[in-house]
Amino acid sequence: MNNVNDIIVGLDIGTTKIACFIGKRAENDKVKIIGFGKTPSKGVERGVVKNIKDTARSIQKAVEMASEQAGVPVSEVYVGIAGQHIKSSQNMGTVIIPPEHKFIEQEDLDRLIEEQHNIMLNPGEDIIHIFPQNYVVDGEELSPDVEPVGVAGKQLKSTFHIVTGNTMNLLNIHDSVERAGLTIKGVVLEPIASAYAVLDDTDRNAGVALVDIGGGTTDIAIFNESVIRHTTVLPLAGNAITTDIKEGCKILREQAETLKTRFGSCLPQNVSENDIISIPGLRTQPPREISMRTLAGIIKARTETILEQVDYEIKKSHLEKHIFAGIVLTGGGAQLRHIKELTEYITGIDTRIGLPDEHLDKDSDPEIINPMYATGIGLVLYGFHELDEQRRHHQDSSDGDEQQPEVTETPEPATSNDVFADLPIDNNPKTEPDDIETEDEKKHEEPKKENKKAKPNFGSQLMKSIDKYFGRVFGDETIRNEGKDEHDL
């Protein structure tokens, strides 16, 4: 099933950095990162793309660095998504099994998931992920290790955890990646991607809370019995700590970031009050002396605020007594000294720092074994997981065809995972003179074909196209019934 020649590219569009990772199969069935590129992020605020051109330039630089190091061209990428616009909700779904089915079949399960795309959403929102929580057949709940397909019954019911995002923010990501000359292979909620990098099956089954503290957002994903039970995105993270240091110490932002990463601590009592840091003054001003204990006090105050919200979300999920594997901290914020101890003090839950080396080949570059790269590496691992699932489904379908030779109906061709493949977006937009598009890129552009057919309504085509993709993010091959209108809450 696995092909050592498979190449997957993950693109982490973060608030402080944009990182690109290129991975390939290793001989031990793990993944080796063969290309890595990182550049400061421009145009992104709290995980949301604000300036498409600036973000595209940053993406292009990071991808070029990774491509040159790996020695392979890059055309398709898996992209992480975060931001305060991400929301989650629970919904119950039920389907009746047809009399001709002696037991629940895959089409019944697909129909149950398909109906979730018809739930009412707020205007401008779309479904990103649908996570089944449990399955109930004829009023009896199935254990987590029993699949519903193959169980005899007349009614199938399930609760779903549904993640939604703002449509325009998704389009901004698409436009930024496209302007960089790339195609989006898939979009993944960032804490889900990070989980692929720092967790294993034992963690997910025992119950674990993944807390990814980035630059602009803190992302949370809670697992129990190998199922994602709760997700949320908090609008506070490492940049808020840096801002507090800048204001509290009256220094430049770059100086504040350096103080945080090199000398910062979350526990003032663990820092000597005699330790002093000297910061160069501006122009003719004398150097500014800052106590490391004062610095730690500023960091602790803001970090406590973030962790108290994390604790609230864990309690809100009603899973605090089922997180036997504890809390796993990752992201750039997890590098703060003593943050593990402070997290345990505030939440009362065992905590560890998650490094993205769980599934990487031992020969991978030690530089990337850092919590700040968990999302980017996780995107690569997610891509390989999706690739394996696609091959498994194709193999199962082929086996079924062999067992039923009398079926002559030609199956539909596999659909593309391109996020916005069907969007009515102009692939050759008019650009200003300072646009990042180069002459070489223009030579490779395909000539624009004349379309003599009547153009569909933009709004309806946009929503149908996005719905069509997001219905497949986790292998769901169904789409929303195009004949039904979507109603506001």
Q: How confident is the model at residue 398 (pLDDT cuts 50, 70, 90)?
A: low
User: pLDDT value at position 3?
Assistant: 62
Can you tell me the distance from the alpha carbon of 406 to that of 409, in angstroms, rounded to the nearest whole number?
9
Can you tell me the distance from the alpha carbon of 448 to that of 462, in angstroms, rounded to the nearest whole number?
20
Cα 63–chain centre separation = 18
Per CATH, the number for 200-357 is 3.30.420.40
Element (H, E) at 10: strand 7-13
Cα 348–chain centre separation = 27
Asked if pLDDT for residue 441 goes beyond 90, the answer is no
Q: How confident is the model at residue 393 (pLDDT cuts 50, 70, 90)?
A: low
End-to-end CA distance of the chain: 44
Q: How confident is the model at residue 443 (pLDDT cuts 50, 70, 90)?
A: very low
Cα four-point dihedral sign 41, 44, 48, 53: negative
Average pLDDT value for residue range 24-28: 84
Q: How confident is the model at residue 418 (pLDDT cuts 50, 70, 90)?
A: very low
Tokens standing for residue 475: 């292998």
Report strand pairing: 76-81 vs 183-189: parallel
User: pLDDT value at position 427?
Assistant: 47
Give 149-162 pLDDT, tens digit per residue: 999 999 999 999 99
| Cα distances (angstroms) measured from residue 245 to each of 15, 238, 250, 296, 306 | 18, 11, 8, 10, 15
Asked if pLDDT for residue 447 goes beyond 80, the answer is no
Q: Name the residue among 20, 19, 32 with its Cα closest to residue 384.
A: 32
Q: How confident is the model at residue 282 (pLDDT cuts 50, 70, 90)?
A: confident
Backbone phi, psi, residue 104, to 5°: -65, 130
CA angle 204, 130, 395 (to 5 degrees): 80
29: left (phi over 0), alpha (psi -120 to 50) or beta: left
Q: Where are the domains of the chain?
A: 200-357
User: pLDDT value at position 473?
Assistant: 42
Average pLDDT value for residue range 415-431: 43
Q: Across the chain, what does the average pLDDT equal? A: 83
The maximal CA–CA distance of the chain, rounded, in angstroms, is 88
Report strand pairing: 218-224 vs 208-213: antiparallel
Give 211-221 pLDDT, tens digit per residue: 999 999 999 99
Backbone phi, psi, residue 290, to 5°: -125, 130
- Is residue 190 within 8 A of residue 82, CB to CB? The reply is yes
| pTM of the complete model | 0.77
- 276-302 core/surface letters (b: 16 or more CB in 10 A; e: else): ebebeeeeeeeeeebbbbbbbbbbbeb
Asked if pLDDT for residue 302 goes beyond 90, the answer is yes
Can you tell me the distance from the alpha carbon of 337 to that of 197, in angstroms, rounded to the nearest whole number?
22
